[in-house]
Structure 1
């Protein structure tokens, strides 16, 4: 199992120069990928274009960009521009978005998310491959093409937790990316469902990227309390509540990887045993706690 590092807002608000420094640190430590989430601050794809232009070598990924507020033509243009700016190192992670945010913040429809995503991908995939589309679906319409010299189509991952979205991920994309999903759910639900769908569709074995907060500490209970405060919203929305309930836990603090060095390494190994292909570690805590975590994970890589 490979290990990547989350950068940017998910680790706390930071200036762009500091986020670029996080990518540089990850590259120097030998991590596979620097992952940026689209939250309420910096644009994830723009951040990766800036950072990737300054830091060579390391893979770059979004985990994830919500699609409802981005037309396929717009997202294809943005993603391919990042490819051109970073020597084609982008993994494009996308998702349907949290329904309450899609509606409450943007005033956009969020019904039938799997159907909407199927139509969205039907337009996005050919656009990423430089093809001209004239797609007329029930929820998505796209007519045109995107041309970015030097850009290759990125790997696409679909955020998926429910069975239908996981099947779609296996059928139409290169795999899935999860957040706040524990090892039992990954082993018994996520990995087998997306893998079976990929086999049925005649695709290669899917990538399964699992994201979790992680903190190496001698005060586990205090850190879990801070994680509960920082990520408590995830335990309330239906999308995350479903996988937390499947795992049998109360909230994000219970699936986060927290403890001393030995404990953290054992929990990371559980992800590998579950069939995860890349752990997206989101270092949590003070700068000292995050650095201790990064040092341990860097040293644990093959």
Structure 2
């Protein structure tokens, strides 16, 4: 099992030190999110600062960029990292795409499917000099040597997509190389009811085995050797789950796990501006289902026992929350990677 650190957007002049610490601590790699800062520059800096570290975007906003621009950027990072880069893509939500990026969002699922295929067509074009992709949303058929990055001495980057609902999971299995599970998706029942079966359906449609697909899973951890330590982390995870759980499209995950109505209750508090009230809707039973709680010595086994037959890459969601404990998370990563 590969174990990555989920990063938060930060200044580029801090990335080199972080990458070096992650490699020294024993993590497999770094996963760069996209929010106020883009993930690609951070990945490029990390590739130079810590050779051998695996890097990924988790996830980059697809519709903010043309497929060609995304492919060319990923190609350069793949070359710089010696073939250790994964391109993770997601749709974001309509408001961000239309009102912040000024781009189109209609039919986001089919659009992302076409986007992934267009990106892969660009990878092929960099090697062959011929660009040919005709899809529902993107038509690419022109490239010259001057505007091509050309072949690199590394395989094409893997392309993963973020997916929550059954259609997107099936699409990921059909056209992508892996799936990024949402941080709210750590409930084992959801993973077994939806993620694994839908990935298998998609893979079968394209004549592939699920063994070829990566399941990239962020893990919310509550870890400490005293109850006081763990209680502090319980409150942090409550806040994270209430934030993610406020999205209506994710309500079914709570409902099917036996927590029906959780999202409606969170949204009621959210509309009132009651953020403490939002977190209070996440009970200890929620935490037991959606997060992994353990002592430090038991954390690796607890993660392996819960997700060992599901995830190929685990992303430690909380590892950067407390840099004093970063190396301890690295020790956990080392045990999981054996």
TM-score tier, shorter chain, comes to 0.7 to 0.9
Report the equivalent of 1:200: 205
Tell me which of 133, 156, 171 is aligned to 2:131.
Answer: 133
User: Does structure 2 conserve the Cα–Cα contact (< 8 Å) formed by 1:84 and 1:148?
Assistant: no
Secondary structure, aligned partner of 2:120? helix
Q: RMSD of the alignment, in Å?
A: 2.6
Measured in 2, the distance between the counterparts of 1:267 and 1:107 equals 44
Q: Which residue of 1 aligns with 2:175?
A: 172
State the TM-score, normalized to the length of structure 2: 0.78
CA distance in 2, matches of 1:18, 1:258: 30
Q: Give, in whole Å, the separation in 2 of the partners of 1:239 and 1:113.
A: 14
Report deviation, 1:235.
1.7
- 8 Å CA contact 2:78, 2:157 repeated in 1: yes
For 1:115 and 1:240, how far apart are their aligned partners in 2?
A: 19
Number of positions where the alignment pairs a residue of Structure 1 with one of Structure 2: 297
Kindly report which structure 2 residues correspond to 1:260-275, keeping only aligned pairs within 5 A, or say none: 260-262=295-297, 264-275=299-310
Q: Cα offset for 1:70?
A: 1.0
Q: Bigger radius of gyration, 1 or 2?
A: 2
**1:135-166 deviation per Cα after TM superposition (whole angstroms, max 9, x unaligned):** 45443343434424426420111111111111
Q: Which residues in structure 2 correspond to 1:1-302 (within 5 Å)?
A: 1-9=1-9, 14-41=10-37, 43-129=38-124, 130=126, 132-145=130-143, 146-150=148-152, 152-180=155-183, 181-182=185-186, 183-204=188-209, 205=211, 206-217=213-224, 218=226, 219-229=229-239, 232-248=242-258, 250=262, 254=287, 255-262=290-297, 264-282=299-317, 283-302=319-338
Greater shift, 184-193 or 230-239, is seen at: 230-239
What per-residue deviation string (whole Å, max 9, x for no partner) do you get for residues 29-69 of structure 1?
3322221111212x211111111112111211111111111
- Cα distance between partner residues in 2 of 1:226 and 1:299: 25
- In the alignment, what sits opposite 2:272? none
Judge conservation of contact 1:216–1:293 (CA < 8 Å) in 2. no
CA contact (8 A) 1:169 1:194 kept: yes
Uncovered stretches (5+) of structure 1, i.e. residues with no partner: none
1:63, 1:177 within 8 Å by CA — same for their partners in 2?
A: yes
The answer to whether the 8 A contact 2:3-2:336 is kept is: no
Distance 1:233 1:105, change over 3 A: farther
Determine which structure has the larger helix proportion and give its number.
2
Structure 2 gap segments, 5+ residues each: 263-281
Cα distance in structure 2, aligned partners of 1:116 and 1:23: 33
